[in-house]
Amino acid sequence: MNNQDPIAVFKTEALEQLELIEAGLLDLTRDLEDKAQIDAVFRGLHTLKGSGSMFGFDQLAAFTHHCETAFDRVRKGEAPATTELVSAVLDAQGHMLALLQTPNGDHEAMSAKLLDNLHRAVGGSAKAAAAGIAAAAPSAAEPSAQDAGLTTWELTFNLPLNAMINGTNPLGLLNELRELGEARVEALTDAVPLLEEIDPRELHLSWRVTLKTDKPKSDIEDVFIFVMDEMMMDLKQIEAAPVAVKKAAAAQADPADAARQAPNSAADPAKAQQPADAKSQKQADNVRVPALRLDEMMDRVGELVIAQSRLSQMASSVADLGLRSVSEEIERLAGELRDTMMVLRMMPVASLFSRFRRLVHDLARETGKDIELITEGEMTEVDKTVIDRLADPLVHLVRNSIDHGLETPEDRIAVGKPPVGCVHLSAHQTGSEVVITIKDDGRGIDRARVRAKAEANGLIQPGAQLSDQELLQLIFQPGFSTAEKVTNLSGRGVGMDVVKKTIETLRGAIDIKTTPGEGSEIALRIPLTLAIIDGLLVRVGSGRYVLPLSAVEECLELSLEEDLKSRGRSFISLRDDLVPFLRLRELFRTGTQPDPFQKVVVVSTGSERVGLVVDQIIGDHQTVIKNMSKLHDHVSAFSGATILGDGNVALILDVVHLIAAGQHQEAQLRAAG
């Protein structure tokens, strides 16, 4: 039996439905005549209204009903799809989220304001629109005196056994049918078990409804739109011919349809339950799992990897071949379990990128700029934790591109650009990193202005020598802003420093490229996962350290003579390229003498690389990442720690920081030389 909280399940599915409604509305802004999107939005609103009513979210259901009615009129050609209507329903969609999250809150004032905007968008006042809604739904208590234009339908349906457990209210469905016209309802009790055998949580009733209405067949089917996949339904039009003739005609016209309807002809509703159960079983192939459970599972896998490492170390020190064989088998299984767990936690960045369509739409309205959002690489997958923590930084960067980067349509035309500005959001994977890029075709970053502002704020000394990247990175300093005035979007000097801090906590890096008059590009380089990595274990002095294996390009030997020869220069020649290197023994102040044959581990991130001089390369190591304490926040050379097989701790080197240190050292040496 499913023991999940039905309300929690409903909220999760309602959030997904709201996202689909928003996506459909945003697609409509591109093509207001897109019938498929109009139908999709209507179905989403109808589903949200019906399920909200069933789970007791009455304010949400009542409010959504008006939006549904508006799109129903558009769907039937009674009202045009306009930009004003789409904007009004987009605003209403945000309010639906509030009604979902706080169903018992005081939302009347905001609901009235948004509905007034909605009714104006479809033409007329709220009062007139409400009257139109009432007129559109014939009352069962007051059927039309004339049957001209009315069609009589016979509907037999039954719901799955667990329908009420999942929050479906059959009375709500019957009431919706009554709203369509004159309805006569008959309950079918053939499948109801004996009292001593009945489970009160299960639904054994079926219903036969005779409905006289002027609505099309699709409106009747729409009543069941959110339970259609789990139920059995037989819907047929009643004609004047005798019953036997009708059945024969129906079978002759569509034998497949007759065969499909026959099992559900109310003679034995229990038999009709079987296909629905099969359908439910198929849907059960996809299971919702709370993210917290995945996190707990990931922790257990991490502990297993550590235990496996200890076992491997013990097995290597004894001569027992059987123990070694078992150790190798456990190592293989632990590796496969780790890889499987990683895949379970991965999500496409499409779930992240989709949020920005609405943001760009709203900012375009707010700023008066024409903006096009282009996304690429939406199926690139990243750890769910990374996606959750990237949302806020990306919001800041996109808002900054729109406010600081893109010009107004008039300014763009004046410099020979198209009036519509473009923000390009893309993602791609390189090794164990994902690179997310925010690019615009705006005015670019004014380097002279950045320098002047940094000097005025005391961030750098006047005339200080900075590389181009160091100068551009100043925009991420706390309180830094080049905006001439404070707006709703930016100018207060907050936000960009939060971006930098968040990316650093993710063990990532930020690269900036900009061309005056052509635009800017900010690339976020983020690890695919924050839990377990393949590492290269090295020794420096008496300490052991881990380098992310994905960042390692190659390993070279550095003899004592070559080490002495390179003193004061700190460069190695690598296939006609000079690569700066750092002596980790000196950087970490080990106080030990170098080994006779040191090793240089060349690491890189993108086009930047540096050599790290170590005493010994120990080998590969599955590294379970443990966060450093807050006392070590200032130690930027390390991104975390791990527990080795012997129980000792090894620090994980922050490759991005070390490469930056190597590049800085290279710049200083070149300036001095």
> Measured between alpha carbons, how far is 359 from 364 in angstroms, rounded to an integer?
9
pLDDT of residue 297: 85
Contact 187, 205 (CB under 8 A): yes
Flag whether pLDDT at 621 surpasses 60: yes
What distance lies between CA 108 and its chain's CA centroid? 31
Which of the pair, 431 or 496, is modelled with greater confidence?
Answer: 496
Which residue segments constitute the domains of the chain, with CATH numbers given? Answer: 6-136 (1.20.120.160), 151-278 (3.30.70), 291-347 (1.10.287), 349-527 (3.30.565.10), 532-672 (2.30.30.40)
Q: How far apart are CA 506 and CA 87, in angstroms?
A: 36
- Confidence bin at 425 (pLDDT 50/70/90): very high
Structure confidence at residue 441 (pLDDT): 92
Residue 9 reports pLDDT greater than 70: yes
DSSP 174-224: HHHHHHTSEEEEEEE-TT---GGG--TTS---EEEEEEEESS-HHHHHHTT
Which position has the higher pLDDT, 292 or 670?
292
Q: Is the pLDDT of residue 149 over 50?
A: yes
CA distances from 625 to 125, 534, 621 (A): 61, 10, 12
For 2, list phi and psi in degrees, rounded to 5: -70, 120
Quick one: pLDDT at residue 128? 40
- Region of poorest pLDDT, from 92-96, 187-191, 620-624, 651-655: 620-624
Under the banding of pLDDT at 50, 70 and 90, the label for residue 666 is low
Listed ranges 19-33, 34-48, 412-426; the one with the highest mean pLDDT:
412-426
Q: What are phi and psi of 419, to 5 degrees?
A: -65, -25
Three-state DSSP state, 428? strand
Q: For position 545, what pLDDT does the model report?
A: 92
Where helices occur in 76-209 by DSSP H, the ranges are 83-101, 108-121, 126-136, 170-179
Tokens of 371: 């903006």
Q: Among residues 212, 214, 204, 206, which one has the least CA distance to residue 186?
A: 206
Average pLDDT over residues 99-106: 86
* 8: CB partners within 8 A, 6+ apart: none
Cα-Cα-Cα-Cα torsion 358, 361, 364, 366, nearest 10 degrees, comes to -60
Confidence at residue 271, expressed as pLDDT on a 0 to 100 scale: 40
Going by C-beta distance under 8 Å and a sequence separation of 6 or more, which residues neighbour residue 105?
Answer: 98, 99
Q: pTM higher than 0.85 for the full model?
A: no
Closest CA to 406 of 499, 523, 490: 490
Joined together, the tokens standing for residue 50 give: 């019906």
Is the pLDDT reported for residue 275 higher than 60?
no
Q: What is the mean pLDDT of the chain?
A: 78
pLDDT of residue 209 exceeding 50, the answer is: yes
Which of 353 and 571 is assigned the larger pLDDT?
353
Greatest Cα pair distance in the chain:
108
Report the pLDDT averaged over residues 114-131.
Answer: 66
Mean pLDDT in residue range 174-196: 85
- Strand 206-213 to strand 182-188: parallel, antiparallel, or no bridges (unpaired)? antiparallel
DSSP string of 546-557? EEEGGGEEEEEE
Residue 472 has pLDDT above 90, yes or no: no
| Across 608-619, average pLDDT | 86
**pLDDT at residue 587 in the model:** 82
pLDDT for the residue numbered 281? 43
Percent of the chain with pLDDT over 90: 7
CB 37 within 8 A of CB 74: no
Q: Pairing relation of β-strands 649-653 and 543-548?
A: parallel
Q: Which residue has the higher pLDDT, 219 or 482?
A: 219
- pLDDT at residue 21 tops 70: yes
Lowest mean pLDDT among 43-57, 142-156, 319-333, 606-620: 142-156
Q: Of 227-236, 320-329, 462-471, which one has max mean pLDDT?
A: 320-329
**Strand boundaries in 449-504, DSSP class E:** none
Arithmetic mean of pLDDT, 435-452: 90
Strand 232-237 and strand 638-643: the pairing is unpaired
pLDDT at 539: 92
Q: What pLDDT digit, counting tens, does each position of 576-607 carry? A: 777 888 888 888 888 888 887 888 998 876 66
Residues 6+ apart with CB under 8 A from 568: none
For residues 250-262, give the mean pLDDT.
Answer: 41
pLDDT number for residue 538 = 92
Q: Is the pLDDT of residue 284 over 70?
A: no
Cβ(201)–Cβ(268) under 8 Å?
no
Q: Which of 128-132, 344-348, 448-452, 580-584 has the lowest mean pLDDT?
A: 128-132
pLDDT top residue among 433 and 244: 433
Calculate what percentage of the chain has a pLDDT beyond 70. 80
Structure tokens of 193? 């078990």
**Distance from C-alpha of 187 to C-alpha of 180, rounded to nearest angstrom:** 19
